[in-house]
Structure 1
């Protein structure tokens, strides 16, 4: 099952709602499907995504991939590439022209698992097939009305853990959002907040204490201060005894390792780069540090979540991507379930390829209506 060819399909469409945090917002989806095709016809699928600017045309994406990436894949078996370690010296290991890194890892692991006929979570060593999911609204730019509507709906379908965005210039607004959530969430629910580095170390401590004094217990506070302030993060860990500090989202693999060595996180946050996630997960397990799976495209992170012993939670943000694949990851009653199909279980929908592919860049006014989101019918 040597890799013999590839296919890229570019998508661009409006979101069903604005998403964002204290630092950024996004109204559109800019993504391309990467399919690695073996000589047996098996396909490994990953997704190339940019949040804030449109991807180049499909022809340009293909050109760059063919020049920069495919020569190292052609004729090789995926199972022989997923654990490859490169020698980082000088300019031989550098960021690509386009963000292929995560898509490539996901597609290779998908193909590798298909080569041996296993669901990806089992190839990664997992025995359980489900992980608790928490409802994350990416809600900073929503009105109070839409914010309440989203989390009321999440509670109605079985979620009992919720993460909201904070870090507003008016701290009373953060408190107000927590008050709304407390009113609509089921009794005994767990709350998390995510400041996306909006605060300084002392400011974070003061605001966490104010939130607790207002009656809100927090399971964790995510990225309260700058990712590079390891000393400040450690101080927060040692000072906030009623909550945990979740950090690492904005750090690469090496940065996450340094963060753990500096004892700057109670929980380490990882995303969708399968090889990188497993490596930092092994290190976290040695230190008995919990791992949380942040947003991954189409929730493919469920496989690493099921495989790593320190993962208790997977983030789910109700993003309208499900139409891109034949069978999305199952999420039910506050749990996410890993598919039992070989690979990661996601297959690009041919109807989506026909209806939603956009080979050329469109202006925003040309995107039309967002695709329906059956997991969030209230928007």
Structure 2
């Protein structure tokens, strides 16, 4: 199985020596004084460029976490009153907030931001001067930070909890190694306690290109018939780090923690919103447990292709330098466009651990509450009558 790049990063197979030659020639259109691993002079963020330290980390153990969104004001008055503008980018997913300096957030505003991210999937801010140290400290408010076993960390010491997304002219994308569907993922879902409210800040980017798309797991669940929803709720799936570790070793890199595989529910419930979300992704989900392979393959293909292809469930963000996104890895998947080569795209991620994924049955047994379909819940709260297509099997189209 070919290794699947994670967290928006792919490693090219081009000739690095040849590209360095071309980069160093000012008459060449690929010339840039900040490109290439050995050409850091004058690059403001050289200390945050990729390194792969040969260190070993102990296996992760289960840890207690408490979702800070549970402490938030449901109306988010502290956060929204400080904002210049709060704009939803689609009905389903994505919100952009202006007028807030993330360095000045109070604890109450941090809790409300976590709740907003849990409801909207991903929230964007632009023109943020927050440093990577401040970004890490903000992320710690939401949970203990994850350290990645295979992907790069900054050259600057003491930042092992930072995940780097970095591409330049020496890292040409290799479209023969994967399909675009394969690149959709939720970060490190193979962990026992995968991430919750995750942040990524772009510190260097191309003038255009390199957008990121997020797809809602809530909407994916809501899009299916009640019978298929109930079937999915009874399933579990294997999430694996093995291909990622094998890919790193094949590239001559040190794997800092041995890969693991975990079994998670195909439909999980967000602990704060109580909404059901499909929790599989092409990057790391390998098979459904306890069903014939043909059935597993067919179900996963339906889910994977809908994640990648249903644009009604997606939001697309055009990055600018100092833009930062916060997304809930429990209820969205994401993928980047690799249309910007040979330009540089450099971003830094902080990744808190969440709780162990909880099935519908386990959530309802633990809380005594009924887990909900997000779309139906929102319609009911708005006093909207349930559409006919949710009541019958009639097929209805639309015109555009």
| Richer in helix (by share) | 1
Task: Give the TM-score normalised by the residue count of structure 2.
Answer: 0.25
Task: Give the TM-score normalised by the residue count of structure 1.
Answer: 0.26
Higher relative contact order (CA 8 A, sep 6+): 2
